[in-house]
Chain A
């Protein structure tokens, strides 16, 4: 069964420093995608980054990178040079290729960036 685990309910980081948000997943499907979304207090779920299970390299998008360790079934999000505007909830999500349209979301991690 699909499962996404985010073990950090809350994280603090100093402005301009890097931070890693943890995500582990469980699936028996060899083909799947992993996603990270940011949700500010306004409520919108903003897509950040995607990693396919067959991708050989870790995904990067600007200050966001995904540390994909397939054998450990982990897909941690790394945010470099944190900014005050990065304060938000961050959700890890997974979708299986044979799972239809269902995307499973983790419980989220609330990130606080300190000035």
Chain B
């Protein structure tokens, strides 16, 4: 496997279900991200993990729960979702410098298309 992988690629779930999205990066990066892409809306950053520490949570509802057990793996746990949560969920990774302002490229996975019924 190379780059950033995501599973599953497609997911249909009911509002009372609990499911998890998985992301794995094979690039040796130290930061990982969850983005949400809804129809007709720009890409929205949800969570950021840098060196396994969550550094950003952009006002995401608590029904989305991220987990980063190590620098290569990132999960998004889903529970009691709403139909408006249906979207493409993209994972990304980057190699961030430990000190000083830098601008690093983020590399994305193929995404999980989520449909909440």
A→B interface (CB under 8 Å): 31-33, 35, 37, 42-47, 50, 52, 91, 95-98, 100-108
Contact = CB atoms under 8 A, between A and B. Distances in A.
Given A100-B56, A102-B45, A105-B43, A43 B110 contact: yes
Interface of B: 31, 33, 42-43, 45, 48, 50, 55-56, 88, 90, 92, 94, 96, 101-111, 113
Given A102-B56, A105-B43, A47 B101 contact: no
Contacts of B101: 31, 97-98
Given A31-B101, A100-B55, A42 B106 contact: no
A46 B106 CA distance: 10
B11 to A, nearest CB: 13
A103 B111 contact: no
Given A42-B110, A43-B111, A50-B105, A101 B42 contact: no
